[in-house]
Structure 1
Amino acid sequence: MHPGTSPKSKSKIWGAGIEASRHHLDLEASIEQLRQQMIELAGKHGLSSDVVLGVSQQLDKYIVMAQNNHKADSIW
Structure 2
Amino acid sequence: MTLDISYKAEHITQRELEILYMVGMGYNSKQIAEQLFISELTVQTHRRNMVKRLGLRNTHQLIVWAFKERMLSV
Q: Same fold (TM over 0.5)?
A: no
How does the TM-score come out when normalised to structure 1? 0.34
Q: Which has the higher strand share?
A: 2
Kindly indicate whether structure 1 or structure 2 has the higher relative contact order, using CA contacts under 8 Å at least 6 residues apart: 2
Q: TM-score, normalised by structure 2?
A: 0.35
